[in-house]
Each structure stands twice: as C-alpha cells, then as structure tokens.
Amino acid sequence: MSEMVHVESSDSAFATFLQEYVQSNMTQRVRLETTIEEYQSLRDYVAERIDDQINLIEQWQEQLNTGTGIATPDMLNVAQGRLQQDRDLQDEIDRILNDLNAHKHELSDRVHTYLMDLSKIEIHSGGFVAHIFGYNRDVQWDPDNSSLTFTAAGARAETAVSVPLSNWRDSSKFTIILKS
C-alpha cells in the first residue's frame, strides 16, 4: 500500500515537471512561428526588390546599348552591386529560415514525446488532460482559473495534441466579451 502511494506521488511530481516542460516548449514554438513568419515576409520583400533590380538593369543595359536615356556604366555597376547584395541577403535569410524550421520540427518532436507521457498519466487518473498553451501577445493567460483571454483579431493560442487515444473529446468553455 505504501509503495502505491509512493508511486502516485512520484507520478504527480513527474506530471508537474512535464507540464512545465511542455509549457515552456509550446511558448517557444509560438514565438518561433511568429519569427518564421517575419523572416518569410522579409524574404518576400527582398525577392520583390531583386525582381525590380533585374528589370532596372535590363532597361539600363538597353539604354547603354542603344545610346539613349540617362543610364551610365557607373549607374549600371552600382545597380549590379545592389543586386548582388540582395542576393546574398536572400541566401542568408534562407539559411536562417532553414535553421528555424528545423528547430521548430525538433521542438514539436520534443513536446510530443513529453506530452504523450503526461497525457497517459492524466488520462489514466482522471479521464482527461488539461491543454498546455503557447500563445502570442494578444492572448492573456490567467493561471488562477486557467483561462485564456483573446484580445484582438490575430490572437492565437496553440496546444499540442498528444493523447494515447484515437477517439477523443476536446472541449472549451467560451464567454463573449463585447467591445464597447
């Protein structure tokens, strides 16, 4: 009997550890995703600038060839230098994006391994497991009543799903806050 109590208390300490671990990883994951989105939009912007630069260089090259317009060989050199800079920047962004994405996959794997252990403990004892959320700045987490308050369009909370069940029920209690 005493051995059983021992097992349960160590289970609960383990569950607390797992909860905190998953929580911190989920928060990282949401932040990482926001960062990835920002890098992606930067990449789109640079790609657009490269296209513009190429068009401009073609125009100026044409002007130089035909001896019309304002283009000078110096202007062309500067433009080509800018183009190379942007291409280097794009390569750098791609390298960062690859790293970030790899890190995101790693985090996901880690969360799932730990969360599955937690779900097994919690579902075994109570039939369900409370979601652990990562969230962006438009969501407020209140630890006292485990509530999330969504305060603006774009607010996003994310939870991993890792349960030892193929049939399950996921539920949330929702309250509307009217905007004045």
Partner 1 sequence: MIFSYYLDVDKTHLINMKFNVKQILVQNSMLQVTFDAVVEEVLDGTVLHSESQSGAFTLSSSRVDDPTSSDGYDINFIRTRYADQNKWIFEIQNNSQPDQVVLVGLYSTTATGNPLGEDIIQDDDSYNFILKGNNIGQLEETYVPPVLTQNVVNTDFSQLVLPYGFTTVSGIYDSAVGRFLLSDFSHTFPNSIDPDTAFTLTANLAPMQTDSVSDEIFHVTLHGIGQVTLYKTYLAYLREGDDPSNTITIFFGASADPTWFLSPPPYFTDKSKFSVQADGAGGVTVKYAGVSLIGSYDPSNPFAGVDLQAAARADKSLVVCAFDNYTIEFFK
Q: Does 152 contact partner 1 by CB under 8 A?
A: yes
**Binding map of partner 1 across residues 131-150, x = CB under 8 A, - = no contact:** x-x----x------xxxxxx
Residue with tokens 């949330």: 172
Residue among 17, 105, 113, 125 that touches partner 1 (CB under 8 A): 105
Q: What is the CA radius of gyration of the chain?
A: 26
Listed ranges 55-63, 65-73, 89-97, 118-126: which one lies at the site for partner 1 (CB under 8 A): 118-126
Spatial separation of the C-alpha atoms in residues 156 and 153, rounded to whole Å:
9
Rule CB under 8 A: is residue 159 a binding residue for partner 1? yes
* 112 sits near partner 1 (criterion: CB under 8 A): yes
Return phi, psi of residue 139, to 5°.
-120, 135
Q: What are phi and psi of 178, to 5 degrees?
A: -75, 145
Which amino acid appears at position 71 of this protein? Answer: A
> Candidates 51-59, 66-74, 85-93, 154-162 — which segment interacts with partner 1 by CB under 8 A?
154-162
Neighbours of 134 (CB within 10 A): 25
**Residue 7 binds to partner 1 (criterion: CB under 8 A):** no
CB 34 within 8 A of CB 139: no
Residue 168 sits in the site that holds partner 1 (CB under 8 A)? yes
What's the rounded Cα separation, in Å, for the pair 80 and 56? 10
CB of 134 to partner 1, least distance (A): 10
Positions that interact with partner 1 (CB under 8 A): 101, 104-105, 108, 112, 119, 123, 126-131, 133, 138, 145-163, 165-179
